[in-house]
Structure 1
């Protein structure tokens, strides 16, 4: 079989790092982006020549374009784009939130994802490849303080569905993966490094892991080429749907 290549954003932690390990373990080449050079270097040391690290802030669109154009020969033919990089602003209502944090999430989760996808689409079409976008259950189920994050992930979900319509007839597969609670650095970052808050959120629920999600990503990517998973929602067994909130004036 011809060796395949995946372009995975956000490989310095969590799902991205787990996905890089999972795909390289199955013989794929992986291009992995991240902002933390030391973590990229550590992952490259672990995974060897199958992993090509790109120190990159996906919000820097000019740097992203230049990095893609400068990929080495063995990593130019991309079969899978895994748009994993993303973040959430602090858990705050819109009226109490800080605008810069909200705009950072929008630029990362939406603008960068669209720009990178557009950049790689010609090659993906030529190779009849695949795009997997990391959305979230927050795209479907609202919660207090999640307006901006949930809004960005709803965009990712709808973008994935419409992208599939745009690519109809090209052979390119497009999937929106929509996880619930996964115990990674995500909540730690969202809470400004508050480990106690992160630990309290996941305490006793047997949350999903990054490795669980990477297994699903690999499964979707390696299905027969005539099978497309449009959207796939994942939750740990101990997480389900929130009830309605009712305010009763006293």
Structure 2
């Protein structure tokens, strides 16, 4: 990168980045940040109205398309609208519930697997030809510390994110020799709509999750994605775990009284 590009990254076009789950949280922050780095960004999510709000923050570099990664037809229609892809950010995903295995809600487990695992699979499959054709493609998947470390009350989400971790690693192995890099970024506690949705809209319960500590925010992870995406072509960041200073593992958190 030249000195001018370092001073003003947006002056250097970088190709096209596709971001799923881009209507809020980490996905929205990532889309805006990648646009600021010079990428043309295609934003996909179910909430088209929210997507348009994010596009407005992309300084003329964003385009919104409806996408439900749990629907194969939606993924196919989304991919058909994209002619170039240099970076794919697999961000769409969610957690639901905190029940024990003994009390597991099978419908919730199925929904988490459908979106987190099969959704990531569908989108990755759809864009691999374009990523390879780019000559320097990247797949950056937003995983979770839940995909590295099981914890009580997290079995369904743990299972889904462990599957994502395995799939991402296999993809890295299978693409050796191809011009595509593969990275998984595993955040810890990030204060977004994620916890509120996991707890079924319980705002008080969601707030309690972050009580007495300083969590990450969506922008922190977006900047990690931007850093990974802008490494030189020969550099592959295989995995990155990102925790708040107050968090040392999935369930070990320092809380101030």
**For residues 141-185 of structure 1, what are the alpha-carbon distances to aligned partners after superposition, in whole Å with 9 as ceiling and x for unaligned?**
111111111111111112111101110011210001111101111
Q: Alpha-carbon deviations, 1:184-223, whole Å to 9, x = none? A: 1100000011111111110121101100010011000100
How many Å separate the matches in 2 of 1:112 and 1:241? Answer: 27
Aligned match of 1:21 in 32, 35, 51?
32
Q: Which structure 1 residue ranges, 4+ long, deviate > 4 Å from structure 2?
A: none
- Pair 1:218 & 2:226 matched: yes
Q: CA deviation at 1:96?
A: 1.1
Residue 212 of structure 2 is aligned with which of 204, 209, 212?
204
Gap runs ≥5 in structure 1: 245-250
Alpha-carbon distance in structure 2 between the residues aligned to 1:47 and 1:227: 27
Structure 2 residue aligned with 1:113 = 120
Task: Write the distance in 2 (CA, Å) between the matches of 1:164 and 1:188.
Answer: 33
Quick one: which of 218, 223, 232 aligns to 2:240?
Answer: 232
Match of 2:166 among 158, 161, 179: 158
Which residue does the alignment assign to 2:255?
A: none
Deviation, structure 1 residue 135 = 1.0
Instruction: Give 1:87-102 correspondences, 5 Å limit.
Output: 87-102=94-109
Map 1:163-174 to 2 at 5 A: 163-174=171-182
Please give the per-residue CA displacement for 1:104-142, whole angstroms capped at 9, x wherever unaligned: 100000001101101110111111200011111111211
Q: Which structure 2 residue ranges, 5 or more long, are not aligned? A: 1-11, 253-257
Note closer, same or farther for the CA distance 1:242–1:122 as it changes in structure 2 (3 Å cut): closer
Counterparts of 1:51 and 1:221, CA distance in 2: 17
8 Å contact kept, 2:93–2:112: yes
RMSD (CA atoms):
1.5
Rounded Cα–Cα distance in structure 2 between residues aligned with 1:188 and 1:79: 33
Question: What residue in structure 1 maps to residue 183 of structure 2?
Answer: 175
Q: TM-score, normalised by structure 1?
A: 0.92
The 3-state SS of whatever aligns with 1:162 is helix
